[in-house]
């Protein structure tokens, strides 16, 4: 799915869903973690958080080693995009052929790219073609969501999974089977699907059957082998992120009107228990827009409120990024040069990386190295500033040759410092 369209749809859905949820339990009281005293990057205030402005540029050979670059050109005019990378450095790719006459999209095909080859899975079929929208990977397994929607306001879906040696993907769920309609608003937030290599979790909107509350939000779960039934993992929650054999998720007023308006909770559901990881404050119109996790790190961004239309660009409020070391509970806050409304965020084992997706504002990509407490600029790719991380692997988009061309993706190994 086109990145700009996808993010615009998510932003609109967030506004739609804020006013149409039911009630829920009151979140638990927040816990307090240790505060990091790691060094700040050049340009950051001595008394403030880390800041992207003034971050030094990462250097090839010292900070990372390039493994290969994913060519975005497929056969017969097709475009190839990366949706995730794996810990061995391979990339989860999707082939998007040109649509046939009278069609808006063509059927996507999932595959794996390595340094030397591309391997494609059998494309899925249906009454209408579907395009890939989201994907996640863990170990050698990966999951993804396809939609036939090309509408800003709707996101019907089918979720698939693939494991090593599997030529035909496993269908994990179909939104039509659950909702009996294809007119489903997309869930709020930039991240929708996650996996730990055993299960897949994804966020969906659903009809409530109530006159005054049309749509609710929940996180679904199913094992990627497709042997267990599809079930609801968490009600009134968003932004699932697999970590430690469970999922972290966000609960706030936009998905749960029973939650405080000025606070968000990040909780962890694991081994039958549901515990509070941390809480944070929100001012009017702020929201948690995205979250990622590995088994060692958790990171999330708070989207700033929209500036008044008449305000100058320099007056636009900026978002912030938070990082927690799950073992030590050390925390960092990073001031962004961007609203974080479409932030593309990904977690490795020792670092967190991000770009601004297709949003306006800062087009650069960054990596925050947790062991050293240092922040690095990776590059810039206006219009599609995307990153991917897994283990020690890190990928980011390079600028296309022209605005009409697809963007190549550089796949690297990050050197923790």
Residue 8 has pLDDT above 70, yes or no: no
Residue 357 has pLDDT above 80, yes or no: yes
β-bridge partners, 243: 246
pLDDT in tens, 364-392: 999 999 999 999 999 999 989 999 999 99
3-class secondary structure for the chain? CCHHHHHHHHHHHHHHHHCCCCCCCCCCCCCCCCECCCCCCCCCCCCCCEECCCCCECCECCCEEEEEEECCECHHHCEEEEEEECCCCCEEEEEECCCCCCCCCCCCEEEEECCCCEEECCCCCCCCCCEEEEEEEECCEEEEEEECCCCCCCCCCEEEEECCCCCCCEEEEEHHHHHCCCCCCCCCCCCCEEECCCEEEEEEEEECCCCCCCEEEEEEEEECCCCCCCEEEEECCEEEEEECCEEEEEECCCCCCCCCCCEEEEEEEECCEEEEEEEEECCCCCEEEEEEECCCEEEEEEECCCCCCCCCHHHCCCCEEEEEECCCCCEEEEECCCCCCCCEEEECCCEEEEECECCCCCCEEEEEECCCCEEEEEEECCCCECEEEECCEEEEECCCCCCCCCCCEEEEEECCC
Q: What is the pLDDT of residue 261?
A: 92
pLDDT in tens, 198-229: 999 999 999 887 776 778 999 999 999 999 99
**Residue 371: how many CB atoms within 10 A of its CB?**
11
CATH architecture of 3-25+41-414: 7 Propeller (2.130)
Residue 341 has pLDDT above 60, yes or no: yes
Q: What is the pLDDT of residue 70?
A: 96
Whether 56 and 379 have beta carbons less than 8 Å apart is answered as no
Q: Please give the share of the chain, as a percent, with pLDDT higher than 70.
A: 86
Residue 42 has pLDDT above 60, yes or no: no
Least confident of 25-39, 102-116, 123-137, 387-401: 25-39
State pTM to two decimals: 0.87
Residue 145 has pLDDT above 70, yes or no: yes
Give Dmax (Cα) for the chain: 60
CA distances in angstroms from 323 to 7, 191, 211, 262, 408, listed in the order given: 23, 16, 40, 20, 28
Rounded CA separation 317/205 (Å) = 29
Question: Average pLDDT in the 319-340 region?
Answer: 95
Burial of 211 (0-12, 13-18, 19+ CB in 10 A): exposed
Q: Please give the share of the chain, as a percent, with pLDDT higher than 90.
A: 73
Contact residues for 295 (Cβ-Cβ < 8 A; gap 6+): 243, 244, 326, 349
Rounded CA separation 353/346 (Å) = 5
Query: How sure is the predictor about 396, in pLDDT bands with cuts at 50, 70 and 90?
Result: very high
Contact residues for 407 (Cβ-Cβ < 8 A; gap 6+): 72, 381, 384, 386, 397, 398, 399, 400
Q: What is the pLDDT of residue 252?
A: 96
**Average pLDDT of every residue of the chain:** 86
Question: Average pLDDT in the 298-317 region?
Answer: 75
Query: How sure is the predictor about 408, in pLDDT bands with cuts at 50, 70 and 90?
Result: very high
Residue recorded with tokens 């990153």: 387
Closest CA to 175 of 220, 108, 233, 229: 220
CA angle 218, 153, 80 (to 5 degrees): 90
pLDDT in tens, 181-206: 999 999 999 999 999 999 999 999 99
């Amino acid at each position: 799915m086109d990145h700009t369209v996808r993010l615009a749809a998510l932003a609109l859905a967030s506004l739609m869903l804020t006013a149409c949820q039911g009630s829920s339990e009151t979140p638990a009281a927040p816990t307090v973690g240790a505060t990091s005293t790691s060094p700040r990057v050049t340009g950051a205030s001595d008394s403030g958080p880390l800041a992207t402005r003034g971050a030094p540029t990462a250097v090839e050979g010292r900070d990372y080693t390039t493994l290969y670059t994913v060519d975005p050109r497929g056969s017969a005019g097709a475009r190839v995009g990366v949706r995730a990378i794996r810990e061995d450095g391979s990339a989860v790719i999707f082939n998007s052929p040109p649509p046939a006459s009278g069609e808006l999209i063509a059927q996507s095909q999932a595959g794996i790219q390595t340094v030397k080859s591309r391997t494609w899975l059998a494309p899925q079929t249906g009454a209408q073609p579907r395009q890939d929208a989201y994907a996640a990977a863990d170990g050698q397994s990966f999951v993804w969501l396809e939609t036939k929607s090309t509408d800003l306001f709707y996101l019907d879906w089918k979720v698939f999974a693939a494991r090593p040696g599997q030529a035909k993907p496993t269908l994990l769920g179909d939104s039509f089977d659950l909702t009996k309609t294809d007119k489903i608003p997309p869930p709020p937030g930039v991240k929708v699907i996650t996996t730990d290599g055993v299960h897949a979790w994804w966020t969906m909107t659903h009809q409530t059957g109530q006159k005054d509350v049309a749509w609710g939000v929940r996180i679904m779960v199913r094992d990627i082998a497709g042997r267990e039934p599809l079930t609801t993992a968490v009600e009134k929650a968003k932004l699932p992120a697999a970590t430690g054999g469970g999922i972290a998720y966000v609960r706030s007023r936009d998905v749960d009107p029973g939650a405080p308006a000025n606070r968000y909770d990040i909780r962890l559901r694991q081994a039958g228990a549901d515990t509070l990881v941390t809480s944070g404050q929100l001012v009017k119109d702020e929201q948690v827009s995205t979250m990622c996790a590995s088994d060692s790190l958790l990171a999330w961004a708070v989207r700033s409120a929209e500036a008044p239309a008449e305000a100058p660009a320099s007056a636009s409020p900026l978002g912030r990024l938070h990082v927690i070391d799950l073992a030590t509970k050390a925390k960092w806050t990073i001031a962004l040069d961007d609203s974080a409304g479409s932030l593309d965020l990904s977690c490795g084992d020792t670092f967190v990386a991000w770009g601004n997706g297709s949003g306006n504002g800062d087009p650069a990509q960054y990596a925050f190295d947790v062991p050293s407490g240092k922040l690095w600029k990776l590059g810039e790719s206006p219009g599609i500033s995307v990153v991917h991380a897994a283990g020690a692997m890190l990928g980011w988009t390079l600028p296309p040759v022209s605005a009409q061309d697809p963007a190549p993706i550089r796949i690297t190994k990050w050197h923790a410092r």
